[in-house]
Amino acid sequence: MLENIRLAFRGIASHKMRSFLTMLGIIIGIASIMSIVSTIKGTNDALRDKLVGSGNNTVKVSLSSGGQELSIYDASSVPQNVQPIADETRQKIADLKTVKQVTLYNKRFVTDSSVFYGDNSVSQFNMYGVDDVYFDTVGYRLKTGRAFLESDYTLFRKVMILDQVASQKLFPDTDPLGKTVEFMGQPFTVIGVMYEPDDYEPDIQTVEDYYNNQDNSNGLFFIPKADWPIVFNYDEPENVIVKATSTDDMTTAGGAAAKILNQTITSTSDDTPKYQAEDLLGIVKSQQKLTAAANMQLIWIAGISLLVGAIGVMNIMLVSVTERTAEIGLKKAIGARQSAILGQFLTEAAVLTTMGGLIGVGVGVLLSYLINRFSGIPVAISIPWSAGAVLISMLIGVISGLLPAQKAARMDPINALRRE
């Protein structure tokens, strides 16, 4: 085998231009497939990260009615059969094997009131009542100030944390820390400004996307969950966010948490809200399925060049057999078996296409990064696909070289020597 490989390299080196032109079809085919696969994988990974949270692995479990998240505006919209989540229920969720962390929170999109500071005010915003692990669970970080302390909850301190948007709107020219704002007739002291480590820019392509992203346009306001009944005068059922142990466990963790929460709801009425986990991985898979057929068509189209390359390899190997008729006849005359001749030519074809495959993978990787650089399309190089491409190119060489190798192996030595 090693001798056959050495002879193959010597033959390629003695006909450099012909060998390169023979490999060109394989190079183009492998490079095309690699660049297509890398853009597909990059786009899928980007979609997954965008929806799933780029490694945050959090799943929102919220009260839903009629397939939509339940919105609470006043006392009349509070469901009667859903109670605040008890500590033992929260502990059951935290004990799930697929759950790393769990947080409870209240949320309301405030339209009938504003937050005031002097002459400045902010209307139509999201107000959150959060527990002491909320920011750590969802991955928010403090830009300035401090987070909520345990004493803020036990002493019912009226303190507030803003995000950067709310801070800029309410305090455009001053440091917000230590300032007192008014909300629902209650004074709150601003103790911190938080931010999301990865700035999220929503993908707005339709009118529906535009309105879905208006909730956060005026910023986010956070108060301790213990202060929620003080501000709104009654208890409200909370929503839950669970952080899964891994991205693949998100659907399982969210579904298990929703099941535990729904067991606390005693009513069996169809109109009673139920807890429902958002299935982000399901959304990702649905989006990927929509493009899977088109992606496979692109790969098959690129595979046509591999077929052309395989025909080119077969043609050149037939030429090589014809050119080396005397050599084949001489080897068979001194005792070379058919299997030896067959192995020599198959090895030469396999080495030729494997070199083409390796070069094609390199060209494909380069093309992928060029596509990313000039078009902004995300790319991701797949090691399994790279290894598979090289193996496929080797297989193409074996298949393409089989007919010429059999022709050489079956050649009659007397006729071969006479032809010379």
Question: Which DSSP string do the residues of 84-151 spell out, in sequence order?
Answer: PPPHHHHHHHHTSTTEEEEEEEEEEEEEEEEEEETTEEEEEEEEEEE-TTHHHHHT-EEEEE----HH
Top-confidence range, 47-56, 89-98, 104-113, 295-304: 89-98
289-315 pLDDT tens trace: 666 666 777 777 777 878 888 888 888
The string of pLDDT tens digits covering residues 211-266 is 344 445 688 999 999 999 889 887 788 899 999 888 778 888 989 999 999 888 87
CA distance 322 to 178: 90
Would the pTM count as exceeding 0.85?
A: no
Between CA 404 and CA 387 the distance in angstroms is: 27
Q: What is the DSSP string of 320-336?
A: HHHHTHHHHHHHHHTT-
pLDDT of 146 > 90? The answer is: yes
- Supply the Cα-derived Rg of the chain in whole angstroms: 33
pLDDT of residue 4: 66
Amino acid at 4: N
| Cα separations in angstroms, 245 against 25, 102, 131, 239 | 46, 11, 20, 20
**69 φ/ψ angles, rounded to the nearest 5 degrees:** -60, 130
Per-residue pLDDT, 206 = 39
pLDDT over 50 (residue 108)? yes
Amino acid 150: pLDDT:
93
Q: Average pLDDT in the 170-175 region?
A: 91
Q: Tell me the longest C-alpha to C-alpha distance in the chain.
A: 110
Residue 286 has pLDDT above 50, yes or no: yes
H or E, element range at 349: helix 338-375
Q: Lowest-confidence range among 180-184, 219-223, 309-313, 378-382? A: 378-382
Q: Residue 48: in which H helix or E strand, if any? A: helix 16-52
Euclidean distance between CA atoms 23 and 15, whole angstroms: 12
Q: Which of 114-118, 182-186, 229-233, 337-341 has the lowest mean pLDDT?
A: 337-341
